[in-house]
Amino acid sequence: MVACKTLRRVTEPSEDKVIPDEQVSQSLLGLFRALLRNSGGLLLGTHANFTPRFPLHQEQNEGDVLFQTLGFCIERRPSSLAFAGTGVFVTRGFVPKGATVAMYPGTIYQPYEPILLQSIRNPFVFRCIDGLLVDGNDRGISRMVFRSCSGRDRLGPYLTSDASWLTDNPLNPLAVGQYVNNCSDERPANVCYQEYDVPDSFPLELRQYLPNVNYSQHCTQRPLRCVVLVSLRDIRPGEELFSNYYTIVR
């Protein structure tokens, strides 16, 4: 991630929605159902008697599932910006304007919850408009906190979050949004962040692909906050994704 910051201004939080939440839900549900089918209907983390619906040797990798479902692939690669480290690129297909192109994974902190130790020298803490924080760091204390909270919140055989974004091979191929670099005058933003509260109707068996978890167990009565990245224009193969890090509400 590149260190410099730019600003985006909206007049009120409601105007920060580039696309309706229903459209975000539709994209995520379509992808997650395809990922579940590709795994043979397996609930992640379960080892009960299980007969796969499809032979395991026919499973596709997650990138192929993303391509067949949403029409594009994204991957982490060295950024095209000097000294920017890792970036995220469209590697196959075509991203139309208004598409849900990535997700920002991490632990969700309420404004009053402690995050001091996790935030030290951590460029991956994203602040939502309402003050919620998303810690998308996949190393150190942040990594341990996410794994602990993810294991805590499982419901019997059901995982309610996806910790595989902490690895080099996330099961949800969209969960690389924390590596999207900041735009510049020379590289204008082609995606933007959009806050998304997971509706209560979101199927339990598909929540295993959500790359976010609440820090506090007492927040389970509130909708889970996710942050997605939405394309601001058509994006073609080979292009790196760039976004604004900060939104100022006036």
Q: What is the distance of C-alpha 225 from the center of its chain? A: 11
The reported pTM is 0.87
Looking at residue 37, its pLDDT comes to 96
Percent of the chain with pLDDT over 90: 68
Looking at residue 115, its pLDDT comes to 85
Do residues 16 and 129 lie in contact, with contact meaning Cβ atoms separated by under 8 Å?
Answer: yes
Q: Dump pLDDT digits (tens) for 85-117.
A: 999 999 999 999 999 999 999 999 999 888 887
Percent of the chain with pLDDT over 70: 84
- Alpha carbon distance 172, 160 (integer Å): 13
Q: Can you list the domains of the chain with their CATH numbers?
A: 7-41+60-249 (2.170.270.10)
Q: Dump pLDDT digits (tens) for 7-41.
A: 555 556 555 689 999 999 999 999 999 999 999 87
Using pLDDT thresholds of 50, 70 and 90, give the confidence band for residue 186. confident
Using pLDDT thresholds of 50, 70 and 90, give the confidence band for residue 51. very low
What's the mean pLDDT when you consider all of the chain?
87
Region 148-173 average pLDDT:
94
- Comparing CA positions, the residue from 108, 101, 82 lying closest to residue 230 is 101
- Alpha carbon distance 162, 166 (integer Å): 9
Q: What are phi and psi of 156, to 5 degrees?
A: 60, -125
More confident: 6 or 163: 163
